[in-house]
C-alpha cells in the first residue's frame, strides 16, 4: 500500500497570517501553557492553525520534515517590528490610519483609552477599527477618512494580516518611547495631547506592554524550536 502524502502550506512571513488566525493560535497556546509537554503541543498547534494541517495527519509527517517546518516558521515569527501602513486594502475596501492623532475625535479617544493595556488580543480588533476607517478621498500622499461614529464595524479587521497589526502596535511603542524621552516642558499643546493619547493606548505601563510583547514572541519562537 502506497504511503499517504500530507501536503503542508508553510507561511513565510506574518503577511500570510491573518489576525483571526493569529488570535486562534494564541488562544490555543494559552490552553497548554502549564502543560509539561507544552513545546510539543505548540508545534502541533502551529501545524494545525498556521499551516492548515488537519490534526489527524500530523503524526504522518516525518521528523526531518517537521524540523524543516520548524526552521521555516522560526525564520520570521520573532520579527515583528514592522513599519506602520497608513493605507491598507481589505476585502477590496481601502482604509486609512487616523491622519492626525492630536485631533482625534473625543469619542475615539475614549474608546481607545478605556482599555488598561493594549496588546494584540481580543480587544485589538476594536481598536484597529477606531484607528483605521474607510478612505473618503485622496490627493497625492494626503487622504481623508470617514468621521468616527462609535458604531464602526470591526469584522473586517479579522482579515488584516499580522504585518499590518504589528506595524500599528510598534508605531505606538516607538512613538511613545520618543515622546517620553523629550521633556514635558518642551512639548507644545498638541504634542501633549498626543502624548496623553499614547499613554492611554500603551496602557498604564508602557514598559509592561513591551515585556508582554517580548514574552509573546519568546513563546511563539519556543513553540517551533
Backbone angles phi, psi at 134, to 5 degrees: -60, 140
Residues 107 and 186 in one domain: yes
How far from 3 is each of 6, 61, 62, 82, CA to CA, in Å? 10, 11, 12, 42
pLDDT per residue as tens digits for the range 130-141: 999 999 999 988
pTM metric for this prediction: 0.77
Identify whether 208 is part of a domain: yes
Q: Which three cell numbers stand for residue 165?
A: 497589526
Mean pLDDT, to the nearest integer, of 98-123?
81
Residue 29: CB partners within 8 Å, gap ≥ 6? 42, 45, 219, 220, 223
* Residue in 134, 115, 136, 133 with CA at minimum distance from that of residue 124: 115
207 and 101 assigned to the same domain: yes
Q: Is residue 75 part of a domain?
A: yes
pLDDT of residue 161 exceeding 60, the answer is yes
Q: Hey, what's the cell of 82?
A: 514592522
Most confident of 7-11, 63-67, 84-88: 84-88
Measure the CA–CA gap between 115 and 127, rounded to whole angstroms: 9
User: Are 97 and 180 in the same domain?
Assistant: yes
Task: List Cα–Cα distances, 101 to 15, 146, 213, 217, in angstroms.
Answer: 26, 14, 23, 28
Burial class (CB in 10 A: 0-12, 13-18, 19+), 59: exposed
Kindly state whether residue 129 falls inside one of the protein's structural domains: yes
- Residue 98 falls inside a structural domain: yes
| 90 and 156 Cβ atoms separated by less than 8 Å | yes
Pair 53, 91 in one domain: no
* Domain identity same for 145 and 65: no
Residue 6 belongs to a domain: no
> Does residue 5 lie in a domain region?
no
Instruction: Report which of residues 170 and 197 the model is more confident about.
Output: 170
Query: Cβ–Cβ contacts within 10 Å for residue 139, how many?
Result: 7
| 98 and 171 part of one domain | yes
What domain count does the chain have?
Answer: 2
Mean pLDDT of 63-91: 89
In a domain, 9, yes or no: no
Of 85-99, 162-176, 177-191, 203-217, the one with minimum mean pLDDT is 203-217
Query: Residues 147-184, buried b or exposed e (16+ Cβ, 10 A)?
Result: ebeeebeeebbeebbbbbbbbbbbbbbebbeebeeeee
Task: Identify whether residues 116 and 194 lie together within a single domain.
Answer: yes
Helix intervals (H) in the chain: 19-31, 38-45, 55-58, 63-77, 106-113, 124-131, 162-181, 189-202, 206-222
Q: Does residue 116 surpass a pLDDT of 50?
A: yes
Residues 95, 45 within the same domain: no
Does 199 lie in the same domain as 156?
yes
Are 104 and 203 found together in one domain? yes
Same domain membership, residue 94 and residue 70: no
Range of the domain at 62: 14-80+217-222
197 and 170 part of one domain: yes
Domain assignment of residue 2, yes or no: no
Whether 167 shows a pLDDT value over 90: the answer reads: yes
Amino acid at each position: 500500500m502506497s504511503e499517504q502524502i500530507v501536503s503542508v502550506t508553510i507561511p513565510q512571513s506574518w503577511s500570510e497570517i491573518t489576525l483571526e488566525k493569529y488570535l486562534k493560535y494564541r488562544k490555543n497556546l494559552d490552553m497548554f501553557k502549564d502543560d509539561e509537554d507544552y513545546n510539543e503541543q505548540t508545534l502541533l498547534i502551529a501545524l494545525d492553525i498556521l499551516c492548515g494541517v488537519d490534526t489527524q495527519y500530523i503524526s504522518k509527517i516525518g521528523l526531518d520534515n517537521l524540523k524543516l517546518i520548524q526552521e521555516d516558521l522560526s525564520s520570521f515569527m520573532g520579527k515583528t517590528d514592522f513599519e506602520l501602513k497608513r493605507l491598507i486594502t481589505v476585502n477590496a475596501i481601502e482604509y486609512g490610519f487616523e491622519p492626525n492623532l492630536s485631533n482625534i475625535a473625543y469619542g475615539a479617544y475614549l474608546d481607545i483609552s478605556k482599555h488598561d493595556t493594549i496588546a494584540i488580543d481580543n480587544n485589538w480588533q476594536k481598536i484597529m477599527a477606531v484607528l483605521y476607517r474607510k478612505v473618503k478621498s485622496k490627493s497625492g500622499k494626503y487622504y481623508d477618512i470617514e468621521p468616527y461614529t462609535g458604531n464602526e464595524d470591526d469584522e473586517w479587521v479579522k482579515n488584516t494580516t499580522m504585518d499590518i497589526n504589528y506595524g500599528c502596535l510598534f508605531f505606538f511603542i516607538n512613538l511613545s518611547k520618543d515622546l517620553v524621552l523629550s521633556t514635558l516642558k518642551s512639548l507644545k499643546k498638541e504634542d501633549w495631547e498626543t502624548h496623553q493619547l499614547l499613554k492611554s493606548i500603551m496602557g498604564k505601563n508602557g514598559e509592561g506592554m513591551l515585556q508582554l510583547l517580548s514574552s509573546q514572541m519568546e513563546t511563539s519562537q519556543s513553540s517551533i524550536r
